[in-house]
Structures are given as C-alpha cells and as structure tokens.
Amino acid sequence: PRNIIIDTDPGQDDAMAILLALGSPEEVNVLGITVVAGNVPLALTAKNARKVCEVAGRPDVKVFEGCDRPLAHTLVTAEHVHGKTGLDGIELPDPVMPLQDQNGVDFIIDTLRAEPAGTVTLCPLGPLTNIATAFNKAPDIIEKVQEIVLMGGAYFEVGNVTPAAEFNIYVDPEAADIVFKSGVQLTVMPLDCTHKVLVTAPRLQAFRDFGTHLGDVVAGWLDFFERFDVEKYGSLGGPLHDPTVIAYLIKPELFSGRFINVEIETHSDLTRGMTVADWWGVTNRAPNAMFMAEADADGFFALLTERVARLNG
Ligand code: BDR
Ligand code: CA
C-alpha cells in the first residue's frame, strides 16, 4: 500500500475521505492525520477527525493538530455548509482517543525525513496551511514527497465561496501558492471534478441500507451536507468533494484531466484564491499540476460504499 498523510479540516466530506482511506488498507496506509483550521476552527477539526476514527473503529490512528490560522489572512470558516460543529447531521460522543503531542507540521516534516524519498504521499483536503508551513520550515522535505493529491480549486466551475475561488484555496491562497510552486508532483481534484460526484437519494440510501451504526452516521452526515447543496446548486444532490482524493489513489482510472499550468491569485481582492488554470495551453508557462475534470460518478460511489461497508463501525 501507498503511505499517505491525510491533512484535513473535517467536514462531512473530509470524514468520508478518512473512512474511504481506512477502509482501503490494501491500497493506502494512513501514517497519520494532520488537522488544520478551515471548515471550522482547529479545536473542532481536531475533535472531528478523532470522532471519525472512533466511529470507524480505529482509535489507534494518530491525529495531530497543525496550524490554527492561514499564513497571511484571518480564518474564514464554512459553518453555513458543515454546521456549527463542522460535522452536523448526527450527534456523536466526544472522542476518547487522544491527540498526539507532536505538532502536525512537525509530524509531516519528521515523517518525510524518516521515510525513503518518494514513498510518502500527502493528501490535503482543506486549506494548505500545514503543508506550506512544513515546506517553509524544512525545504529539504519537498523533494522527498512522492506526490500531493489535493482537493481544491476550479476552472470551468469557477468558485463556490466567491465567484472566483474555491473554499480551500481561498482560505489560504499564500499557502496554495507555495504548494503549487513547490515542484512536487501535483494532482488536483477541483470543483470541475467534484461537482460530478453528487450524493443522489439512492447513493445516500445505500449507506443507510448497511443497517449499521456507521451506515446511519454516514447517512446523517450526507443528508445534512447534501441538503445545503441541493438548495444552492439545484442539482440532484450535493457534491462530495474530498473523498475524490482517496478514490484517485485507489482507482485513478475513475478520473481524467489534463497536465497544465495552474497559478494562484494572491493579490487581487476580487479574485483572491482563484486557480488560474491554463486549460487551453495559451501561455508557455510550464505545466505543474494534473488537473482533473471528469469523474466516473457511479464507479466512485460503488467504491466508496464498498470500502466504508468494510469498516467495523
Ligand atoms: C472544500 O471545502 C470544504 O468545505 C470541503 O470540505 C472541501 O474540502 C470544497 O470546496
Ligand atoms: Ca475539506
């Protein structure tokens, strides 16, 4: 299996990504989960990540607290999407499993230094603050990263938090800029891709049909998360952004896109956090990101359902 670090701000869709990873031990080995401030403040993302591990029957997973604010801006959160706790939709007990003592940024640095080069993949599902901070603090780790597969940005689908920007990039554009310029092999799951994996009623029901506690928890989350997006986008169901990152690692053939140049807007107030993606190759800027635009939604939900069902929750 591929060694991964999940960097996340749960978030119901982040939670689904964690479950997909924990349910797929043959393909991915979760070395640790680092949390970051994003959808909700850090104290809540730290709590939510542990709730997810516990509900998955995996209190042994190591969870580390990272950065509590973006590099250069005040934190913007998304309670209007994820609810007050960040994980609304079903009541879960406070976690019993501990947070690790080590800081998440230091965990990322130490892990990359300790493991052979090219054997650790970073999976950011929230603002890129932890990753950029690690790269700033320890530039020697950059060349050791196998790949970064992240959820963020948009091209044709433009923005979901402002007309120009996707939430994860908008919250910390300076961090995103560092990551996109780092030279690391980068695979991006933007809104163009995630807006194709919609939680329709039958896809949600498939989780309820497990007849297990975990199945009900997932259905509760998705029901909450979906309701918001159906109202907003008028589509068949809400997009399930973050698990596309893990699904890509397990079954890359579910997705397709183009290797292009992507730059991050950090100066303009109007378009802050925009991913300026050269989809048509109209500049001669060097490609730096595999930018996914298509997803096999049925294949994705079949994988997600099958793997979450394997968990002992
Ligand atoms: C991203 O923003 C967050 O609200 C979701 O968890 C996802 O990572 C989608 O724009
Ligand atoms: Ca997220």
More confident site: 230 or 48: 48
Whether 44 shows a pLDDT value over 80: the answer reads yes
More confident site: 184 or 225: 184
Catalytic (active site) residue 241: yes
Give alpha helix (H) positions in the chain.
Answer: 12-22, 42-55, 79-82, 104-114, 129-137, 167-171, 173-180, 191-194, 201-208, 213-233, 243-250, 297-309
Strand-pairing partners, residue 122, are 5, 148
Closest CA relative to residue 99, chosen from 138, 59, 158: 59
User: Which of 78-87, 228-237, 287-296 comes out lowest in average pLDDT?
Assistant: 228-237
Closest CA relative to residue 90, chosen from 219, 210, 206, 187: 219
The predicted structure's pLDDT at residue 242: 98
Per-residue pLDDT tens over the stretch 112-158: 999 999 999 999 999 999 999 999 999 999 999 999 999 999 999 88
The predicted structure's pLDDT at residue 157: 86
The predicted structure's pLDDT at residue 235: 72
User: Of 167, 226, 244, 245, which is best to mutate to test ligand 1, by the most ligand atoms within 8 angstroms of its C-beta?
Assistant: 167
In this prediction, residue 237 has a pLDDT band, given cuts at 50, 70 and 90, of confident
Q: Are 29 and 2 in contact (CB under 8 A)?
A: yes
In this prediction, residue 233 has a pLDDT band, given cuts at 50, 70 and 90, of low
The predicted structure's pLDDT at residue 160: 92
The predicted structure's pLDDT at residue 245: 99
Per-residue tokens: 268? 């303009």
In this prediction, residue 313 has a pLDDT band, given cuts at 50, 70 and 90, of low
Per-residue pLDDT tens over the stretch 61-119: 999 999 999 999 999 999 999 999 999 999 999 999 999 999 999 999 999 999 999 99
d(CA 92, CA 48): 9
Ligand 1 atom at shortest distance from the alpha carbon of 167: 10
ipTM metric: 0.99
In this prediction, residue 312 has a pLDDT band, given cuts at 50, 70 and 90, of confident
Q: How close is the Cα of 123 to the center of ligand 1, in Å? A: 13
Query: Rounded to two decimals, what is the model's pTM?
Result: 0.97
In this prediction, residue 229 has a pLDDT band, given cuts at 50, 70 and 90, of low
Query: Residue 15: which residues within 8 A CB-CB, separation 6 or more?
Result: 48, 52, 87, 221
Q: Is the CB of 78 under 6 A from ligand 1?
A: yes
In this prediction, residue 236 has a pLDDT band, given cuts at 50, 70 and 90, of confident
| Active-site residue identified among 80, 82, 213, 241 | 241
User: Of 7, 13, 221, which is best to mutate to test ligand 1, by the most ligand atoms within 8 angstroms of its C-beta?
Assistant: 13
